[in-house]
Amino acid sequence: MKVSYTSSSLVTPAKTTWNGRMPLADWDQIGYISHVPTIHIYKPPYNYDPQQDKPFVDNLRDSLSRLLVHFYPLAGRLRWIEGGRLELDCNSMGVQFIVAGTKTKLDDLGEFLTSPEIQSLAPHIDYEITPLKEHPLMYVQITQFQCGSISISPAISHVVVDGRTASYFLSEWSRLARGLSLEFPPFLDKRVLRAGEQLIRPPPPDFLPFLIPPLLIGKNSDKEEREKETIVSMLKLSKNQVEILKNKANETRQDKYSRPYSRYETITGHIWRCASEARDHKLEQPTGLGISVDIRRRMQPPIPQNFLGNSTIDVVASACSGDLISRPIGYSASRVREAIDKVTNEFVHTTIDFWKNQEDLTPFQDIHSSTSDEGPFYGNPNLGVTSWLTLPFQGLDFGWGEEVYMGPVTHDVDGDFILFNDNHNGDGSVIVRACLQVPHMKAFRKLFYALIMV
């Protein structure tokens, strides 16, 4: 699909905002140095008249400018400081607002939404040519289809927000675009995560906040696996299928807790089992599962839900493929839960202490960079499962009603899975966006449904 760019401009706060340097929490320092885009596609309402109504794109630009008065840090820029660390320069330079068009009609897309071509609807951001300090923290691309439909693709820096913060920001933007007032002003005080704190308490000598994912048995590098061709599939689990999996997991539970397994724990355990078998692992093959844990309610006192920043910690669950394949789903779900449950208030503060004790964070930023070939690889024999099940990314109304499609735009990396609700059918089903190496996807799809009934 060919996309032509019409205009590109900076949207700045509608009013004067505070300017100055804002410290970043240690969490922000070691997150992925990248922008994470989503795509939201809308059809114009039946009574929409561009001659009578304020043009949709103009309204998006105007409401974004007004929103940045409250979310002014997102109009700033990142800058490097001593020790390989970053700080936020709140300078009101603005958000990049891109308008594009295509002669494609929405109904012509077909399977396009699961192909790499979907990248053309998202902002293209070149990290190699443009210095970090010159990158806006947010890009937005508005693409107008020939049929009148429009896609909105916001991409916000992962250094300054996580998924929950990004969805909160987009929800507030949609309110202002509909003529409503701000519902929840952002909480901007990063001291809740000890940002700027000088006191350094040494963590336990053997403490390490992350695990390096294992390699395939017999390999001393993941280079070959990184270079293999991948394919994306969208797999749907009905509400009934999710309930069957949850019941099986709880009937065969392998942990000491009495609370039932969540949708995430159950579906993720199921994915882990299927991927291990589809990849035809040796029974003794170690495999890691990357999990991003929201710490807002796990800290004491809890972090406000409207906090503007990163409030997640990445942990890795581990197991042998043979155990995942041969044991019931209750075992794989228990491994997921065990990794999540270790993220306590004490664990979070010990992790912060660990990062504060690092004189130079540059090596850690290199291995966490999304553009680095040396970072942790969650492809074969590993995987990572991100949950959007509780994030309000879907159902955003910017004045044209709810979107007809919402989905992620991520690098097509082996082992990358995203869970999100199939809100459009309203039947409680879940969509699994799966990315695996081409030879493994057919077997995975077959096992994904067949093992539900076993």
DSSP for 335-357, written as a single string? HHHHHHHT--HHHHHHHHHHHHT
> How many whole angstroms separate alpha carbon 386 and alpha carbon 163?
10
Does the domain at 223-450 match CATH 3.30.559.10? Answer given as yes
Q: Quick one: 255 exposed, middle or buried, by C-beta within 10 A (0-12, 13-18, 19+)?
A: middle
> How many whole angstroms separate alpha carbon 67 and alpha carbon 13?
7
pLDDT on residue 365: 66
> How many whole angstroms separate alpha carbon 417 and alpha carbon 427?
22
Residue 237 · residue 402 · CB < 8 Å: no
Model confidence over 279-292: pLDDT tens digits? 999 999 999 999 99
> How many whole angstroms separate alpha carbon 392 and alpha carbon 31?
22
Annotated active-site residue 397? The verdict is: yes
pLDDT on residue 138: 98
Average pLDDT of 83-103? 95
Examine the pLDDT at 111 and tell me if it is beyond 90. no
Examine the pLDDT at 368 and tell me if it is beyond 90. no
For CA atoms 316, 321, 326, 329, the dihedral sign is: positive
Residue 145 · residue 121 · CB < 8 Å: no
Q: Which CATH class is domain 4-193?
A: alpha beta
Instruction: Give the least confident one: 10-19, 142-151, 385-394.
Output: 385-394
> How many whole angstroms separate alpha carbon 56 and alpha carbon 64?
12
> How many whole angstroms separate alpha carbon 138 and alpha carbon 27?
19
Average pLDDT of 411-422? 88
Residue 72 · residue 92 · CB < 8 Å: yes
Examine the pLDDT at 70 and tell me if it is beyond 70. yes
For CA atoms 392, 398, 404, 408, the dihedral sign is: negative
Model confidence over 131-167: pLDDT tens digits? 999 999 999 999 999 989 999 999 999 999 999 999 9
Examine the pLDDT at 42 and tell me if it is beyond 50. yes
Annotated active-site residue 62? The verdict is: no
> Which letter does DSSP use for residue 83 in this model?
T
Examine the pLDDT at 371 and tell me if it is beyond 50. no
User: Can you say how many angstroms the Cα of residue 349 is from the centroid of all Cα atoms in its chain?
Assistant: 23
Model confidence over 237-290: pLDDT tens digits? 999 999 999 999 999 877 676 789 999 999 999 999 999 999 999 999 999 999
Give one DSSP letter per residue of 362-398, joined into a string. HHHHHHH-TT-SSS---STT-EEEEE-TTSTTSS--S
> How many whole angstroms separate alpha carbon 123 and alpha carbon 128?
15
pLDDT on residue 375: 59
Examine the pLDDT at 406 and tell me if it is beyond 50. yes
For residues 105 and 156, the model is more confident at 156
pLDDT on residue 424: 64
Choice among 158, 270, 281, 368 that is catalytic:
158
pLDDT on residue 51: 66
> How many whole angstroms separate alpha carbon 338 and alpha carbon 319?
11
Closest CA to 268 of 183, 151, 386, 371: 386
**In the chain, what are the domain boundaries?**
4-193, 223-450
For CA atoms 74, 80, 81, 84, the dihedral sign is: positive
Instruction: Give the least confident one: 40-54, 106-120, 128-142, 267-281.
Output: 106-120
Examine the pLDDT at 426 and tell me if it is beyond 70. no
Model confidence over 123-140: pLDDT tens digits? 999 888 889 999 999 999
Residue 392: pLDDT band (50, 70, 90) is: confident
Average pLDDT of 410-435? 84
pLDDT on residue 372: 45
Examine the pLDDT at 193 and tell me if it is beyond 60. yes
Choice among 255, 323, 366, 397 that is catalytic:
397
Rg (CA), the chain: 22
Average pLDDT of 26-49? 84
For residues 402 and 410, the model is more confident at 402
pLDDT on residue 391: 86
Examine the pLDDT at 370 and tell me if it is beyond 50. no
Written as one letter, the residue type at 314 is: D
Average pLDDT of 314-331? 95
Question: What token pair was written down for 77?
Answer: 């820029």
Q: Tell me whether domains 4-193 and 223-450 share a fold.
A: yes
